[in-house]
Amino acid sequence: MEVKDCKDRHCPQHGQISIRGRTFKGKVIKADAHKTVTVEWIRPYYISKYERYEKRRTRIKAHNPKCVGAKVGDMVEIKETRPISKTKNFVVVNIEK
């Protein structure tokens, strides 16, 4: 699934963007906006009053370059970058098989 004419300047492999910071894995739940996906994963959150964990959701918008092309339902790896737009500072680097 290699696309050679990836002219995306926000692509970590063919563009200018540099990856630094945190890495997360999650599921793509939305891919409506242009070159953007929403990634969600569940994290346990400890409630001290009840001494139990509850599920909390994290949703992050990530840039989806043409050469990655993640779709809804894919498990993806996202990495932190400098801010790409108002709400995006992550980029999809890999689709987990």
Residues that bind Zn ion (CB under 5 A): 6, 11, 13-14, 65, 67
Residue 56 or residue 66: which is nearer to Zn ion going by CB? 66
Question: Closest approach of Cβ 96 to Zn ion, in Å?
Answer: 18
Question: Closest approach of Cβ 81 to Zn ion, in Å?
Answer: 14
Residue 13 or residue 58: which is nearer to Zn ion going by CB? 13
Could you tell me which residues come within 8 angstroms of residue 71 by beta carbon, excluding any fewer than 6 positions away?
28, 31
Are the C-beta atoms of 3 and 15 separated by less than 8 Å? Answer: no
Question: Closest approach of Cβ 91 to Zn ion, in Å?
Answer: 10
Residue facing Zn ion at closest CB distance: 6
Q: What is the DSSP string of 59-83?
A: EEEEE--TTT---TT-EEEEEEES-
Q: What is the DSSP letter of 85?
A: S
